């Protein structure tokens, strides 16, 4: 997909393909007002409104929206038994870095302003959304904001510098993203900034004091090596970190839970269980 489509086609295809995927029964989706980008609150029946997921979608910083990831965020909220804030942000190349980071920080402030205690918030994202989640936390710390109770990352893109694919990667094993697509998306997102900035490539950041983190990554995907390096650095910084490498899975496979029923749904269940454990400590 990333190899064959223009950016316009990618954006349109992502919206169309994900619109067909159903939400949990009784799920309520409410648009949010007063934000720099689009956003929505998702609540499944019986959800605990004293805790929340703040989710930022993937899409290489150049495509995707709350609508493309609504079904995944709803399933995560259902698995964790809490509400979710499924948030948008500025996309490149129209609005490159740091616009998306500033939007995500505004989204975090918005959730804090809802009266939810920071230790009852799980910040989450897949791929570029994982990148943005980490950059947002760096900005939040710089701004003196309290950090959340936990971080959930799915196939996070933590290093936007140009590098060669790891030895185990092949397009046949994971056709979702390819090196040339990542390079193009990185250039679009960075704009006039350097990819070695820590808020662009969080792998290079000081991770001291980061909250407990769950990283789920596919064993067949291009970003596996980066996830391994990130979790290693996070552990050495003293954080509590859980890394789960899902054998033979492609990039951001929980997003495709409607087709990858076993692996996708199991990963969502695993993440929900982890969130419940983290939130149980804050009661």
List pLDDT tens digits, range 41-70: 999 999 999 999 999 999 999 999 999 999
Quick: pLDDT tens for 194-205: 999 999 999 999
**Length of the chain as a residue count:** 283
Confidence of residue 164 (pLDDT cuts 50, 70, 90): confident
Q: Which of 35-39, 89-93, 220-224 has the highest mean pLDDT?
A: 89-93
Q: Under a CB-based contact definition with an 8 Å cutoff, are residues 152 and 275 in contact?
A: yes
In whole numbers, what is the pLDDT of the chain averaged over residues? 94
Quick one: pLDDT at residue 167?
65
Q: Under a CB-based contact definition with an 8 Å cutoff, are residues 167 and 138 in contact?
A: no
Which contacts of 3-10 are long-range, i.e. CB under 8 A and separated by 24 or more positions?
A: 3/171, 3/175, 3/178, 3/180, 3/181, 7/62, 7/63, 10/62, 10/63
- Give me the domains of the chain, ranges plus CATH numbers: 7-280 (3.40.50.1820)
Mean pLDDT (whole number) for 123-149: 98
* Residue, of 177 and 267, whose pLDDT is higher: 267
**Catalytic residue of the set 127, 155, 186, 227:** 127
Distances 76 to 116, 126, 159, 166 between C-alpha atoms, Å: 18, 12, 25, 30
pLDDT above 90 for 13: yes
Mean pLDDT (whole number) for 252-275: 96
- 221 assigned to active site: yes
- 251 assigned to active site: yes
The proportion of the chain whose per-residue pLDDT surpasses 90, expressed as a percent, equals 88
Q: How many secondary structure helices (H) and strands (E) does the chain include?
A: 7, 8
**Token digits for 25?**
């029964």
* Cβ neighbours around 22 below 10 Å, total: 9
**Catalytic residue of the set 57, 221, 227, 257:** 221
Quick one: pLDDT at residue 24?
96
Quick one: pLDDT at residue 176?
82
Confidence of residue 192 (pLDDT cuts 50, 70, 90): very high
Mean pLDDT (whole number) for 212-239: 96
**Catalytic residue of the set 57, 69, 251, 257:** 251
């Amino acid at each position: 997909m990333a190899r064959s489509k223009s950016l316009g086609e990618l954006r349109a295809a992502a919206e169309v393909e994900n619109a067909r995927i159903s939400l949990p029964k009784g799920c309520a989706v409410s648009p949010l007002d007063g934000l720099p980008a689009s956003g929505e609150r998702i609540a499944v029946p019986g959800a605990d409104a004293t805790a929340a997921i703040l989710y930022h979608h993937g899409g290489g910083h150049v495509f995707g929206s709350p609508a493309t990831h609504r079904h995944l965020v709803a399933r995560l909220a259902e698995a964790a038994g809490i509400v979710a804030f499924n948030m948008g942000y500025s996309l490149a190349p129209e609005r490159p870095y740091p616009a998306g980071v500033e939007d995500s920080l505004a989204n975090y402030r918005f959730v804090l302003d809802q009266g939810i205690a920071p230790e009852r918030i799980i910040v989450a994202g897949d791929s570029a959304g994982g990148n943005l989640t980490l950059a947002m936390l760096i900005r939040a710390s710089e701004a003196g904001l309290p950090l959340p109770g936990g971080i959930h990352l799915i196939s996070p893109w933590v290093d936007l510098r140009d590098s060669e694919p790891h030895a185990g990667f092949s397009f046949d094993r994971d056709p979702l993203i390819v090196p040339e697509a990542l390079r193009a998306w990185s250039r679009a997102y960075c704009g006039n900034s350097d990819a070695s900035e820590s808020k662009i490539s969080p792998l290079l950041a000081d991770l001291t004091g980061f909250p407990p983190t769950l990283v789920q990554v596919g064993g067949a995907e291009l970003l596996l090596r980066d996830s391994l390096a990130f979790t290693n650095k996070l552990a050495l910084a003293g954080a509590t970190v859980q890394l789960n490498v899902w054998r033979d899975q492609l990039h951001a496979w929980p997003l495709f839970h409607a087709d990858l029923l076993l692996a996708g749904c199991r990963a969502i269940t695993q993440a929900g269980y982890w969130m419940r454990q983290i939130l149980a400590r804050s009661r």
